Structure 1
Amino acid sequence: MRFDNPEDIVQLTPQWEGERFPNGRPKVSEDVLRRMRKITLEEAWGPLWNHGYTFQFEGDFKIIHPDKIMVGRAVTAVMVPKRPDLHETLLKYGHEQEGRRGFFNQWVIDSLVEDDVVVVDMFDKVHLGTYVGGNLSTAISTRTKRGGAVIWGGIRDNQQVVEIDNINVYYRGSDPTAIADVTMVGMNVPTRIGKAICLPGDIVLGTPAGVIFIPPHLAELTVVQAEKSQVRDVFGFVRLKEGVYSTAQIDSPWTTAMWNDFVSWFENDPAAEEYRHLTWEKELEAAAKIDGSGHDVRL
C-alpha cells in the first residue's frame, strides 16, 4: 500500500474535471472557496440533497471558534485502534519507504497547503485520542493560513488552540493525554465523520451548526445556486417594502414579467453588484415556456 497515493485519489474522484494537486487531490478554485465563505449551511445542503448526496453533514461537534466560518479543501485520514503488527509495519513503511518523519498525525499535517482542512476519523477516541494540541494546531495555522481541522475524536491544549485566530477546529472532546495506541491505515482516502462521508478534495464548510462536505464537482454549482437564492431574496425584500408584490407573489413561481423586473433591477441596482457574475438565461427561458402553468421555474 501507499499513503496519499495519486492513482487512488484520481480513481476515487472521476467526476472532477478541473485542476489537481500533484498528489491527485481535486483543487477547487480559490474563487469558489472565497464565495463559499458567504453562503449558509442550508444553502449548501439543498443542492447536495437534491443530487442524492444525503450523508454529507455532521453536527455533533464542539467548536473552538463557534462564531467563525471555516472553508477549505479536505485532506483526510483514517485511524484505527493499535494492533502491534499492523502498527509497526505501517509506521516502518512510512519512515523507510516514503521518507516520513514523526507519528502518523504529523505526516498528515506536514502535507498541508494553503486553504486545507484536516478531516480525521479517530473512531470517536478522546482519551489518548487527541489528534492535535497547541503545537500541531499552530502548524495547521501556518500551513493553511485560514483552514483548520475536523476531528472525530479528541484534542488537547484547548487554552492554547483557542488563541489561534486564523483556523477553526471541530472536535468531539478534550483530554490532557497525548495521542497513543492508534494507527493510520489511510491518508487521503474515503473517511467517515459521524454519519457523514468525506473524500479528499471535498470542500469543507464549517458553520456554527456543524460541518458539511461538498464534493468538488458540485462545489461551483452549490455556490451559484446559493448566490442566486441570496440575490433573489434581496430583490424580494426590496419589492415587498415598496409594495410592488405580495408575499404570495414573491414566494410563488415568478411570472415572466417578474423575472424581467428582477433582471432589470439586477443589472442596475448597487445591491446586486457583487452578484453580477451570475447569469439568468435558463431561468428566463424556463419562465417563458411555462409561464402561468403554476410550475416552479427556480433551479
Structure 2
Amino acid sequence: MKFNNRDDIIQLTPLWQGERFDDGRPRVPDDILRRMERITNEEAWAVLERHGYRYQFEGNLRMVHPNKVLVGRAVTAVMVPKRPDLHDYLLEYGQKEEGRKGFFNVWVIDTLVEDDVIVVDMFDKVVEGTFSGGNLSTTIATRTKRGQVIYGGIRDLQQILEIENLQTYYRGIDPTPIRDVTLIGMNVPCRIGGAICMPGDVVLGTPAGVTFIPPHLAEEICISAEKTRLRDMFGFVRIREGKYSSSDIDVAEWAPEIEEDFRRWRENNTPDDLKHLVWDEQPSV
C-alpha cells in the first residue's frame, strides 16, 4: 500500500472533471469556497438529498468558536486501534519507504496546504486519542488558514482558543497524548460519525454541524442557495410591505403573478454578489 496515493484518489473521485492537486485531490475553485461561506447546512442538504447523498452531515461535534464558519477542501485520515504487527509495519514503511517524519498524525499535517481542512476519523477515541494540541493546531492553522474536524479528541484547549485562522470541530478533550492508534489511510474515504467524507470534498462547518460536499456538486449547491437567498430577500420585502402574506410566500411554488413580480423586482434589486445568477429555469426553493 501507499499513503496519499494519487492513482487511488483519482479512481475514487471520477465525477470530478476539474483541476486537481498534485496528489490527485479535486481542487474546487477558490470562488466556490468563498461563496460557500454564506451557505447553511440546510441549503446544502437540500441539493445533496436530491442527488441521493443522504449521509453527508454530522451534528454531534463540539466546536471551539461557536460563531465561526469553516469552509475548505478536505484532507482525510483514518486511524484504527493499535495492533502491534500492523502498527509497526506501517510506521516503519512510512518512515523508511516514503521518508515521513514523526508520528502518524504529523504525516497528515505535513501534507496540508492553504484552504485545506484536515478531517480525521479517530474512531471517537478521546482518551489517548488527542489528534492535535497547541503545537500541531498552530501548524494546521499556519498551513491551511482554515481548520480541523476530528472525530476524536484534542488537548491544550486554552492554547487552541488563542490560535488565529483556525476552527476546530471535535468530540472531546483530554490531557493525555495520542497513543495506541495506527494510521491506515491518508486521503481515503473517511467516516465522521454518521457522515462520509472523501478527499477533496468541500467541508462546510457551521454552528449546526459539518456537511461534507462532493466536489462535483459544490457549484450547484452555491447556485441553489444563492437563488434561495434572493427569493427570501424579495419575500421579506413584500411581506413587510403588506403586499403578500406569509401563506403566499412560504409555499413550494409561487403563484404566476408573484413570480412575475419577483422577476421585475430582481432587475433593480439584485446585490452585486448575486448578479452572476442565471434565471432561465425555474429556481428551486
Task: Compute the TM-score of the two structures, normalised by the length of structure 1.
Answer: 0.92
**Partner residue of 1:289?**
none
Q: Tell me, what secondary structure is at the counterpart of 2:113?
A: coil
Task: Confirm or deny: 8 A CA contact 1:6 1:23 kept in the other structure.
Answer: yes
CA distance in 2, matches of 1:144, 1:93: 27
The alpha-carbon deviation at position 44 of structure 1 amounts to: 1.2
Query: Which position in structure 2 is the counterpart of 1:43?
Result: 43
The one-letter code of the counterpart of 2:126 is V
Residue-by-residue CA offset, 1:89-121 (whole Å, 9 max, x unaligned): 111111111111111100110100111111111
How far the C-alpha of 1:258 sits from its partner, in A, is 2.6
The equivalent of 1:19 in structure 2 is 19
Give the aligned partner of residue 106 of structure 2: 106
Structure 2 unpaired stretches of 5+: none
Which secondary structure does the structure 2 equivalent of 1:213 belong to? Answer: strand
Establish whether residue 190 from structure 1 lines up as the match of residue 193 from structure 2.
no
Give the C-alpha shift of residue 272 in structure 1: 2.9
- 1:90-169, aligned counterparts within 5 Å? 90-145=90-145, 147-169=146-168
* Runs (5+) with no aligned partner, structure 1: 284-296
Partner of 1:287: none
- AA in 2 matched with 1:90: L
Distance 1:123 1:246 in 2: 49
Size of the alignment, in residue pairs?
284
- 1:202 maps to 201
- Aligned with 2:44: secondary structure? helix
Residue 248 of structure 1 aligns to which amino acid in structure 2?
A: S
Give CA deviations for 1:141-198 in whole Å, capped at 9, x if unaligned.
10001x1111111011000001113111111111111111111000000001111100
Report the counterpart of residue 9 of structure 2 in structure 1.
9
For 2:58, the equivalent position in structure 1 comes to: 58
The DSSP-based 3-state class of the residue aligned with 2:217 is helix
Equivalent position SS for 1:282: coil
Partner of 1:298: 284
- Deviation of residue 264 (structure 1)? 2.2
Show the 5 A alignment for 1:271-286: 272-283=271-282
Tell me the residue number matched to 1:234.
233
Q: CA deviation at 1:219?
A: 0.6
| 3-state SS in 2 of match to 1:22 | coil
Contact 2:203 2:210 in 1 (8 A): yes
Deviation at 1:204, TM superposition (A): 0.7
AA paired with 2:169? Y
Please tell me whether the aligned partners of residues 266 and 276 of structure 1 are also in contact (alpha carbons under 8 angstroms).
Answer: no
In the TM superposition, structure 1's runs of 4+ consecutive aligned residues that sit over 6 Å from their partners are none
Contact 1:78 1:121 in 2 (8 A): yes
Aligned partners of 1:156, 1:164: CA distance in 2, in Å?
13
| CA deviation map 1:255-280 (0-9, x unaligned) | 443323222221212x5332111111
Rounded Cα–Cα distance in structure 1 between residues aligned with 2:101 and 2:123: 24
Letter in 2 for 1:129: G
Cα deviations by residue, 1:26-59 (Å, 9 ceiling, x for unpaired): 0111111001101111111111112111111111
Counterpart CA distance in 1 for 2:181 and 2:22 is: 28
Residues 267, 276 of structure 1: 8 Å contact kept: no
Identity %: 63
1:246 positional shift: 2.7
Q: Which amino acid aligns with 1:21?
A: F
Distance 2:142 2:250 in 1: 46
Take 2:157 and 2:88, find their aligned partners in 1: how far apart are those partners? 30
SS at match of 1:281: coil
Tell me which amino acid in the other structure corresponds to 2:32: V
SS of aligned partner of 2:124: strand
Aligned to 1:89: 89
Which residue of structure 1 lines up, in the alignment, with residue 79 of structure 2? 79
Which amino acid in 2 is paired with 1:198? C
SS in 1 for 2:271: helix
